[in-house]
Amino acid sequence: MKTDRGKLASTLLAYAYWPIAYFGAYLALLVPNLDRWKYVPFWIVIVIGLGFAVVVVNMGRRNSTKANLLHALGIQVTLLLFLFLMAKLVMPGFKKSEPGEFGWGFPEDMIVFFLPPLIIFALAEGGRVLISRKVHR
């Protein structure tokens, strides 16, 4: 059975994107400069957000709809576990967090829980549709 290394790599990168962004960008670049900045520059937020969108679209173009849905849910669970762990370890950016506190208050908790997998699924399906259009032309 032949494995698609690109598919595996893009999927793993989608799952690991936010921990990589946290340790690579937030801790390494932002935390040391927070004393000098009054706010995080908007371009940094855009670059990190667009980077995730590109990674998810790339992952989605290599998967079926069912796989994209499962990966969207898996990425959300992985992200929530990462956020919980960072809050539990009292890492920078999470020092005011209460790990495990989830009250199902609407709309904040519901949005944080349900909106990201919908966005991830939409991006992944967008990638799949884009590649299928290229193939059918």
Residue 2 pLDDT level (bands cut at 50, 70, 90): low
Q: In the predicted model, is pLDDT for residue 21 greater than 90? A: yes
**Of residues 98 and 58, which shows the higher confidence score?**
58
> Where do we find the tokens 């699924």?
121
CB 59 within 8 A of CB 12: no
Position 34, amino acid: L
- For the entire predicted model, the pTM comes to 0.83
- How far, CA to CA in Å, does 18 sit from each of 1, 10, 35, 111? 31, 14, 23, 18
